[in-house]
Amino acid sequence: MRYLHTMVRVKDLDAALDFYCRGLGLFEVRRTVSEKGRFTLVFLAAPLDSATATVNGGDRAAPHVELTYNWPDENGKVEDYAGGRNFGHLAYEVDDIYAACQHLMDMGVVINRPPRDGNMAFVRSPDGISVELLQKGAPKAPQEPWASMPNTGSW
């Protein structure tokens, strides 16, 4: 397992980038814009991680901070993240997403978002912290019981 990133939701992407980049000195590693999902993801790294923060052969060595900007709704309203909901999740890359989820289920952990796609799952810590598990490399072929397992709760 390898630690990948921590996700933080932001209400104003420009203000957040000013703080994290100009203020803290982090730099942008990559950006994903999803028209369909109506969000922008910006991954940042620390200056001393510059040699290992970029994608090298599909393998990132340095952890990132992921800024998630959810676009305003059709009425122009931006969600207000009260009560710490701006903290999103921890993310870990695993060698085998199905084995990792089975191990957690065997321990009594609820798989909130099963790895139906063979690539991504979400669970929660005993304190309610959302943890994303991502398959290392290419997604695994969908298989049961995961492929038909519904979401449970929130993540």
- Known catalytic residues are 132
> Quick check: 133 and 121 in contact, CB under 8 A?
yes
b (16+ CB within 10 A) / e for 11-50:
eebeebbeebeeeeebeebeeeeeeeeeebbbbbbeeebe
CA angle 9-37-5, nearest 5°? 40
CA angle 67-137-101, nearest 5°? 80
**Residues 21, 9, 117, 73, Cα dihedral to 10°:** -120
